[in-house]
Amino acid sequence: MTLAPTRLLHVVGTRPNFMKVAPVMAAVDAWNGAKGRGGDVSFRQRLVHTGQHYDAAMSTVFFNDLGLKEPDIYLDVRSGSQAQQTAHLMTALEPIILSESPDLVIVVGDVNSTLAAALVAVKLGIPVAHIESGLRSGDRKMPEEINRMVTDRVSDLLFTTSVAASRTLVREGVADDWTFFVGNTMIDCLETTLPVAMRRAKAAELGLSSHGYALVTLHRPSNVDDTGQLGRLAGVLMRVSERIPVVFPVHARTAGRLQAAGSLHELEQMPGVRLLPPLGYIDFLSLMSDARFVVTDSGGIQAESCVIGTPCITARTTTEWTETLQAGMNVLADPYDPKAILAAADTVLGRERLDGGVRPELWDGHAAERIVAAIAQWGTSRS
């Protein structure tokens, strides 16, 4: 007997979400296209982009870079306080989920769109799958930490990036019947995109020498919303630039905060600092692969740099990506202590760069295939 297609609704809201969902959607298409499945599960999938990251030009670049189809539905929710944005997202998503009537809502990561979609779906009695379940930084002051914890509690299928994340779910009392250790879909995306990024040679295009610069990203509210703290970080970057050139792609929100902190002009005047506009995924990946090290507060960049082999200095006191610390590819540096980041930079500059990187278990480029197989198993169990 041929089963009716399992209806999947993917909900994304930010650029890192695009990188995590693109391999899954490709794996769904590959599953549907495989021959000889007979009465096995097939899928119909739709994509909702909430517009939490609402720079249309940047979203288009990322969708093109990832080979991701245009969203079936675009909500244009935009920004607001944590409560305002989450409420707006839930209000906007409810009629969409009702209209689409999916068998499964798939959410990724830890942003407000993730939480909002999970809450709306579960209140409507629709099962939820969470990709990147079980990640914890231990810092409940981070909105992302709360989003992770709540989303995991209401999800039916939980896909983890590590054995440690799976153990976290068990420790927190989340049922493990439908918990799957599958690996990291960001690395799936990296596998397919890195060869293209390396051929792009963005560093050479900018006149930068290979492994001769530090690449910086900053976006966490704890680092950029307080103008005093952001000013301190800008001062640290200026001091780092006295050791090695600093390349800093600055998103509009961070640029506005730097302006308010009185630091934007100072950075622009530093001969060792190169400020760039926001970059697409391939251009950024090209710069990251050629950098001597990265300074970031991004979770995704910690994971990607580990596999690429670019040392990472994380301007945070905690991280959900503990595998990267254990691999020796990442170090935490207290962003409130300027000496910590400078000391980490000096340590990295004093050792050889590890080409080839480190791959934690199952970070092998096949996480999305495992996810789709698990969803098919789940779909069969419900029929």
Alpha carbon distance 65, 334 (integer Å)? 33
In this prediction, residue 160 carries a pLDDT of: 98
CA atoms within 13 A on the CB side of 238: 14
In this prediction, residue 229 carries a pLDDT of: 94
In this prediction, residue 219 carries a pLDDT of: 87
Is-contact 28 34, C-beta < 8 A?
no
Q: pLDDT at residue 17 above 60?
A: yes
- CATH homologous superfamily for the domain 6-183+363-382: Glycogen Phosphorylase B; (3.40.50.2000)
What is each CA distance from 197 to 21, 187, 230, 305, in whole angstroms?
Answer: 19, 14, 30, 14
Alpha carbon distance 95, 226 (integer Å)? 36
pTM value? 0.94
In this prediction, residue 352 carries a pLDDT of: 78
In this prediction, residue 2 carries a pLDDT of: 60
Alpha carbon distance 243, 15 (integer Å)? 31
In this prediction, residue 250 carries a pLDDT of: 94
pLDDT-wise least confident of 33-42, 245-254, 320-329: 33-42
Strand segments (E) across the chain: 6-12, 43-49, 73-74, 104-108, 128-133, 157-160, 179-181, 214-216, 246-249, 273-276, 293-296, 312-314, 330-332
In this prediction, residue 205 carries a pLDDT of: 96
Q: Name every residue whose Cβ is closer than 8 Å to that of residue 324 and which is 6 or more positions away in sequence.
A: 302, 303, 305, 306, 312, 330, 360
How many helices, marked H, and strands, marked E, lie in the chain? Answer: 17, 13
Q: What percent of the chain has pLDDT over 90?
A: 81
Which architecture characterizes domain 191-349 according to CATH?
Answer: 3-Layer(aba) Sandwich (3.40)
Alpha carbon distance 163, 349 (integer Å)? 32
- pLDDT grade, residue 212 (50/70/90)? very high
Pair type for strands 246-249 and 330-332: unpaired
**Which tokens is 297 given?**
């507060």
In this prediction, residue 213 carries a pLDDT of: 98
How does pLDDT run across 263-310, given as a tens digit for each residue? 999 999 999 999 999 999 999 999 999 999 999 999 999 999 999 999
Task: Name the residues annotated as catalytic.
Answer: 219
Alpha carbon distance 352, 341 (integer Å)? 18
Domain range summary for the chain, segments of one domain joined by +: 6-183+363-382, 191-349
How does pLDDT run across 61-87, given as a tens digit for each residue? 777 888 888 899 999 887 788 999 999
In this prediction, residue 112 carries a pLDDT of: 95
How does pLDDT run across 337-360, given as a tens digit for each residue? 999 999 999 999 998 776 778 999
* Topology match between the domains 6-183+363-382 and 191-349: yes
- pLDDT grade, residue 58 (50/70/90)? low
In this prediction, residue 57 carries a pLDDT of: 54
What's the whole-number average pLDDT of the chain? 93
Q: What is the mean pLDDT of residues 163-172?
A: 95
Q: pLDDT at residue 328 above 60?
A: yes
pLDDT-wise least confident of 23-32, 192-201, 219-228, 365-374: 219-228
Q: pLDDT at residue 164 above 70?
A: yes
